A = this chain, B = another copy of it.
Amino acid sequence: MTAPTYSAKDFRSDVKPVWCPGCGDYGVLASIAKAFADLELAPHQTSVVSGIGCSSRIPAYTNTYGFHSIHGRALAVGAGLKLARPDLTVLVAGGDGDGFSIGGNHFIHACRRNVDMTYVVMDNRVYGMTKGQPSPTTEADWDASAMAPPGGTGVTPFHPLAIALASGANFIARAFSGDINGTAALIAEGVRHPGFSFITVMSPCITFREEQRDWKTIVRPTGFPPTSDPAQAARRLMTDDGFNMGVLYRGNRDSFAKPRSTECTIADLDSEFAV
């Protein structure tokens, strides 16, 4: 008997998303489901872990072992899960606010620690869920927010990919939510790649950042083949305009895992305290 195979549909739940019609996150949901199917995984062997935000609602829309945790902590929950259960495929997902603002510390440490999991950030350069505040990736001059001063915050946006590289991420890619197949392929590659894979997906918030509808006309495949040289990757990322799609870095560090074998009994542990 061969193992059953599953289609993308099998990785979707029947919970209706709360997302606005047209939100980029629908595409990411489709891509994750497709990637899991393409990887010939079974729903019960996969897990999608998230924080809080519009994008972080995604686990409930998948038919996996989902965890919709708390704002900014998805990577910690995901790392704990993967370290405890190396047999599961762990995908962590969320937004730019969740991942780079409140979750920034876990992000840099996840890159460094290099646990074998895949992190998909739906970057819309805004806090969608709380109704449109600037996020770490928001342009310095964006001021269509009740929480930004006229003229914008004036703070240069973050470059999460460059930070990921400097922090030690083992696989770095950029995708666009409108390209479901392309995004699915990058996610699948990230899952296959050992260690911590980081995929930022440009996923428009059509409610608070209507202008992001134009992204579909701007994105383009990166012109370079993936590099595994951090210095080269750093230079490319520092000069990149943010619209090159594809794998930008493919490292070769071993993933962090804890061997689980029993070498002694509880009685042995007890005996350490005996006089």
A positions within 8 Å CB-CB of B: 101-105, 108-109, 112-114, 136, 154-156, 158-159, 162-163, 165-168, 230-231, 234-235, 238-239, 253, 256
Contacts and interface: CB of A to CB of B under 8 A. Distances in A.
A156 B235 contact: no
Contact of A136 (B109, B114, B238): B109
19 contacts: A103-B105, A104-B104, A104-B108, A108-B108, A108-B158, A109-B136, A112-B136, A112-B158, A114-B155, A114-B156, A154-B256, A159-B166, A162-B166, A163-B163, A163-B166, A231-B234, A234-B234, A234-B235, A234-B238
Nearest to A164: B166
Contacts of A230: 238
Contacts of A109: 101, 104, 136
B166 A256 contact: no
Contacts of A166: 159, 162-163, 165-166, 234
A251 to B, nearest CB: 10
A166 B136 CA distance: 13
Contact of A239 (B103, B231, B239): B231
Nearest to A108: B104
Contacts of A165: 166
A235 B231 contact: yes
A159 B256 CA distance: 18
A166 B169 CA distance: 14
Contacts of A101: 109
Contacts of A112: 136, 155-156, 158
Nearest to A158: B112
B155 A163 contact: no
A234 B239 CA distance: 11
Contact of A104 (B102, B105, B156): B105
Contacts of A156: 112, 114, 168, 253
Nearest to A155: B113
Contacts of A114: 155-156
Nearest to A236: B231
A108 B253 contact: no
Question: Most B CB atoms within 10 A — which of A104, A113, A253, A256?
Answer: A104
Contacts of A162: 166, 234
